[in-house]
Structure 1
Amino acid sequence: MTGRHRKNLSLTAKIAGGLLAGSTLASTFAVAANANTLPENVEAAGKTTAVNATALHAGLVLDGLTTAKKDLAREQDGSDQTDVAAEAETEAEEQVGKSSATADDFIKKAKTQLGIREDGSGKTKFQEWYSKTGRAAETVKRDGGSLKSYLDAAWCNMFVSWVAEETGTKDTVGQDAWTIAHAKWFKEQDRWGTTPKKGAIVFFNWQGEKSLDSIVHVGIVTDVDGGKIKTIEGNTGNAVLERDRKPSQIVGYGYPEFAS
């Protein structure tokens, strides 16, 4: 039984008690009315006692009814508060998928990886991490290949995915190993455009082509400086490095929904 059900039972008992008291009051008034049929030699003191008892019963009944009304009002207030709490919970559920991290938080985490390079076999921690994720199992099913194949794959998008994992933003940044699929994911969610923004995920084609299917590389926008876009990228020069990119090299941007 929930707390609210217990409260409702309690309130029902109180109201029932008030009704019982009301019945008692009616009986008391009936007794008082019948007092007129008593012998005339009943002492005045006895009559006074009967009247006082009647008044006492009446007062108790009125008090009981008042208390029941107050309890009912409190229960209604509690219901209202429960409704407000439920609405708040629903609103919180609607926020699932939206980030609690800011664009600055996202960029700051990415910059902690500056200078990390491939080892002698061309591998990084980002490939190793991605190959073990549930998302990797999903993308293998979509694209074919095997989980092991990610260990030797281009890792620019795995780096972005790793930063999203570390900052709790994967639901809004997205996670993938294939840049084209990642860009199309943003497009499908109507979070795609050609305006540079800090924290945006930027997709490139070095020949200046602008179709999503021509994308060959991805990074994170860290700043916009006049005609240049400052980025941090994985798998550029076999490392995580900062770059200045020209708008002509950019296919477009995916826009995560970061906190303000």
Structure 2
Amino acid sequence: MTARTFDLTKRVGTRVAAGAVLSLAGAFGFASLAPSAQADTKPANVAHVAAVSKADANGAKAGASAQDVIKLARTQVGTHENASGNSKFNNWYVSSSLGEQNAHRIGAESASVYKNQSWCDMFVSWLGQHTGTMGMGADAYTVSHAKWFKKTGRFGETPKPGAVVFFAWNGGGIKGVDHVGIVVKDNHDGTINTIEGNTGDAVKKKVRDTSTVAGYGYPEYR
């Protein structure tokens, strides 16, 4: 699969009105986390919903450091999707109440809409949930995720370790975002070291030119 985000409207058909997109956005916290996902369109309006139960945290501790997230991301390097394009991160999202809530919000019958879809942001969301990171977000769609960081005042241009990095290969700022990963290191030479899901169909370490970056989202690390 490509790193391009997916078009949910193709999967839910007439259940989603033409041009209407719903987004779920929120933060992982001590008592709650809130998801974010929407169809792969350029919406005029974005609907935000309340947080879901802490029960989805699967035992994750409250709060985390940037190094906690980077450490967990490193353990996933080499994880591949299968021949149909599905990964462990799709499976997690589909089986969580995050996926169910997002699916229902966009008019899909079940979270199976997220199977075999681009999973770079599901990987980032998985990292946030499994480390108990506050303010990571839990999106499946990169544009809505970036917009949420912007709306909450935690979006900027500095590549801090542990930041969520949003790539726009063809420019266009937030509206052009089509891939996401985690910053490991700023090399101070116009490049950054990252760990990204759905890159060559796997989780990989990458060195990226910062000219391809639309911005960075900053989780609330301890």
TM-score normalized by the length of structure 2: 0.69
1:95 Cα deviation from its structure 2 partner: 7.5
Q: Which deviates further from its counterpart, 242-251 or 94-103?
A: 94-103
Contact 2:87/2:116 (<8 A) preserved: no
Q: Secondary structure at the match of 1:196?
A: coil
AA aligned to 1:129 is: W
Residue 101 (1) aligns with residue 72 (2): no
Q: Which residue identity lines up with residue 255 of structure 1 in the other structure? A: Y
Match of 1:216 in 2: 178
Q: Relative contact order: is structure 1 or structure 2 higher (C-alpha 8 Å, sep ≥ 6)?
A: 2
1:176 maps to 2:108: no
Give yes or no for contact 2:162–2:183 (8 Å, CA) kept in 1: yes
For structure 1, the residue ranges without an aligned partner over 5 or more in a row are: 1-93
Query: Does residue 242 in structure 1 map to residue 205 in structure 2?
Result: yes
Q: Which runs of 5+ in 2 are unaligned?
A: 1-28, 34-61
Greater gyration radius = 1
- Contact persistence 1:233–1:242 (CA under 8 A): yes
Structure 2: distance between partners of 1:135 and 1:243: 28
In structure 2, the residue matched to 1:202 is: 165
Give the counterpart letter for 2:217 in structure 1.
G
Q: Is the 8 A contact 1:126 1:159 kept in 2?
A: yes
CA spacing shift, 1:190–1:97, aligned 2, 3 Å: farther
AA matched with 1:167: T
Measure how far apart 1:187 and its partner are: 1.1
Give 1:251's aligned amino acid: A
Partner of 2:89, secondary structure, is helix
Corresponding residue pairs, total:
164
2:154 aligned residue: 191
The structure with the largest strand share of the pair is 2
Measure how far apart 1:124 and its partner are.
0.9
Question: In structure 2, what is the equivalent of residue 147 of structure 1?
Answer: 111
Residue equivalent to 2:123: 159
Matched-pair contact (CA < 8 Å) for 1:139–1:176: no
Identity percentage of aligned residues: 46
> Which residue type is aligned with residue 133 of structure 1?
S
Alpha-carbon spacing, 1:184–1:103, altered in 2? closer, same or farther (3 Å): same
Q: Which amino acid aligns with 1:213?
A: K
Give 4+ residue runs of structure 1 displaced > 4 Å after superposition. 94-99
RMSD, matched Cα: 1.9
